[in-house]
Amino acid sequence: MDKVLVAYATKAGSTGEVAEVIGQVLCEGGAAVDVKPIREVIDVNGYSRVVVGSAVRMGSWLPEAVKFVEAHTAALETKPVAYFQVSSFLKEDTPEKRQEAATYLGAVRALVEPASVGLFAGKIDYSKLSFFDRTIAKMVGSEEGDWRDWDAIRAWASDLLTMGFAISA
């Protein structure tokens, strides 16, 4: 069966919500899609295409997302792969900020070069953060807010359809 996996790592749920929208757009475009948290994915061999996403913390993908790509490198090298990341760093979406945000993909790009990359602003909701994360966020002056551009997220997912991510079962 030709299926697309959208696997994601999230701290407070925002990246999971983005993954769901990406999966919905791919599904509407004719793809058979599974959207799953990375911790629930055991094997990627049953998928013909894989989209991997992560929240960004301290300028890096979440460790479980990097470990996921490391663990599945051999299989991912044999199929189209796309990466997306979600970060409040891009709440001010400038070319300079996008260039810096692209460097956060370094660890996973060194393992498997993606066919496409989506860089998206995120959301900070203090009520969904652990005490430790909330304290750090406040200390560094991170404000609460939702800066996700749903039109940009849907447009990127639609672009994936033109790249062969719409092969249906």
Close Cβ partners of 110 (under 8 Å, ≥ 6 residues apart): none
Domain chopping of the chain, boundaries: 4-164
Query: CA-CA distance, 26 to 80, in Å (whole number)?
Result: 14
Q: Give me the chain's average pLDDT, please.
A: 91
pLDDT band at 106 (very low <50, low <70, confident <90, very high): very high
pLDDT tens digits, one per residue of 17-72: 999 999 999 999 988 999 999 999 999 999 999 999 999 988 899 999 999 999 99
Return the higher-pLDDT residue of 98 and 140.
98
pLDDT(150) > 70 = yes
Question: Which own/partner contact pairs does 130-136 have at CB distance under 8 Å and 24+ positions apart?
Answer: 133/11, 133/12
Q: What is the pTM of this model?
A: 0.91
Q: What is the pLDDT of residue 168?
A: 40
Does domain 4-164 bear CATH number 3.40.50.360?
Answer: yes
